[in-house]
Structure 1
Amino acid sequence: MSAATTPGHAERAGRRIEEVLDRLTTAGDPGTIAAAEELVRSLMEFYGAGLARILQLLSAPEDRRVQERLLADDLVASQLVLHDLHPEDLPTRIARALDTLQGADLDVLDLDEVSGTLRLRAAAGGGCGCGSGATDVQRAAEDALACFAPEVAAVEVRPAEPALLQIGTRPGAGA
């Protein structure tokens, strides 16, 4: 993968676009600002149409594996979401994002669609339950969700509930 196609490059390019638009806005020329915003909208429309066409061409059943690989790529997924072209619904994209996390076993509790807060629980048996590393897991979940499900504005990770120990008599002990 070349440097021009890495996710970090895409993020830097996005930041540069924002910086240029901010510089133009502070320059104060309304005509220049309007032209720059129109240019960005036109480019978004142009690239969005190209992405839509790619998805259309890959919709045949024999191309399903290629489409699946594209949907699993965080850079491609973020572009599809940005252009409102991602074929998967929000819960599926959330699950896909969480599947990318190495070593984090998280269960979705709920999503508050008004605030955009996703509540997760560390799966049972995923550690000591003391919350160590919870901040790292939360950060990793936020990063993955930013690509696959940017509708999620905040993530709350709750520790796993400890398993209850069942105490009873052994079979045949009371006879």
Structure 2
Amino acid sequence: MNAPDNDFRGRIGRIETLIDEIECFADPVAQEQAREIVQALLEFHGAALANLVGHITAAGPPGRAIMEQVAQDELAANLLLLHGLHPHDLDVRVAQALNQVRPQLQTHGGDVELLGIDGNVVRLRMQGSCHGCPSSAATLRQTIESAIFGAAPDVASIEVEGVVEPANLSSLLPIVTLEPALAGGNGQHENRP
């Protein structure tokens, strides 16, 4: 991530904080007016962006090529999504995200299959040597989910077949319990000569 992206993310964080603070206003009239201002600004910027996208796509193939580049830019793509202007539907964005991570999965002898998208829920199946192994869950969470949510933040959840979750370590005996048994003792601390 480059410096402009960090600056942008910082600004987004600040905007989210300010919007959250609107809910803390004691005056309900002030709350409603602040919400209306935010909504009006979003609508204004959305309309301007829609006009811009319209002009670009009206340029024919060169314009569509530009929109394709814009759609690949994470920040611009999220802005297009916010205003319902992204040139690719959810299915395409999820498929592109999976195609990006597929080479990494294949280097580990695995793959992922898109079973379908129901509403905003993505259904996947792990394949190959990743299928059924506990490390598949970590691969899914860190690699696949990151790619999908980055390309399609409108995805609500991801369901995966063929993934065995890592064992729940809280169900194992604490190591402290095993120390006396491993030392050959009876659990009593004895001073031995």
TM-score range, shorter chain: 0.7 to 0.9
Take 1:73 and 1:54, find their aligned partners in 2: how far apart are those partners?
A: 16
What is the TM-score of this pair, normalised by structure 1?
Answer: 0.72
Asked if residue 37 in structure 1 is aligned to residue 35 in structure 2, the reply is yes
Structure 1 pair 142/127, CA: closer, same or farther in 2 (3 Å)?
closer
Structure 1 pair 141/39, CA: closer, same or farther in 2 (3 Å)?
farther
Cross-structure match for 2:113: 107
C-alpha contact 1:21 1:33 (8 A) present in aligned 2: no
What is the Cα deviation at residue 129 of structure 1? 4.9
C-alpha contact 1:120 1:157 (8 A) present in aligned 2: yes
Take 2:33 and 2:156, find their aligned partners in 1: how far apart are those partners?
A: 31
C-alpha contact 2:91 2:117 (8 A) present in aligned 1: no
Cross-structure match for 1:17: 15
Cross-structure match for 1:83: 83
C-alpha contact 2:68 2:87 (8 A) present in aligned 1: no
The unaligned stretches of length 5 or more in structure 1 are 161-175
> What secondary structure does 1:26 align onto?
coil
Cross-structure match for 1:163: none
Cross-structure match for 1:61: 61
Higher helix share: 2
Cross-structure match for 2:133: 130
Cross-structure match for 1:98: 98
> What secondary structure does 2:125 align onto?
strand
How many residues in Structure 1 have an aligned counterpart in Structure 2? 155
Take 2:124 and 2:12, find their aligned partners in 1: how far apart are those partners?
A: 29
Percent of counterpart pairs with the same letter?
35
The unaligned stretches of length 5 or more in structure 2 are 106-110, 164-193
What is the TM-score of this pair, normalised by structure 2?
Answer: 0.66
What is the Cα deviation at residue 153 of structure 1? 1.0
Cross-structure match for 1:119: 123
Structure 1 pair 119/128, CA: closer, same or farther in 2 (3 Å)?
closer
- Select the structure with the greater relative contact order (CA < 8 A; seq sep ≥ 6): 1
C-alpha contact 1:81 1:148 (8 A) present in aligned 2: no
Take 2:53 and 2:118, find their aligned partners in 1: how far apart are those partners?
A: 30
C-alpha contact 1:120 1:158 (8 A) present in aligned 2: yes
What is the Cα deviation at residue 149 of structure 1? 2.3
Cross-structure match for 2:161: 158
Q: Which structure has the bigger radius of gyration? A: 2
1:50-89: per-residue Cα shift (whole Å, max 9, x none)? 3212322221212332221111222222111111111222
Take 2:2 and 2:44, find their aligned partners in 1: how far apart are those partners?
A: 23
> What secondary structure does 1:37 align onto?
helix
C-alpha contact 2:97 2:147 (8 A) present in aligned 1: yes
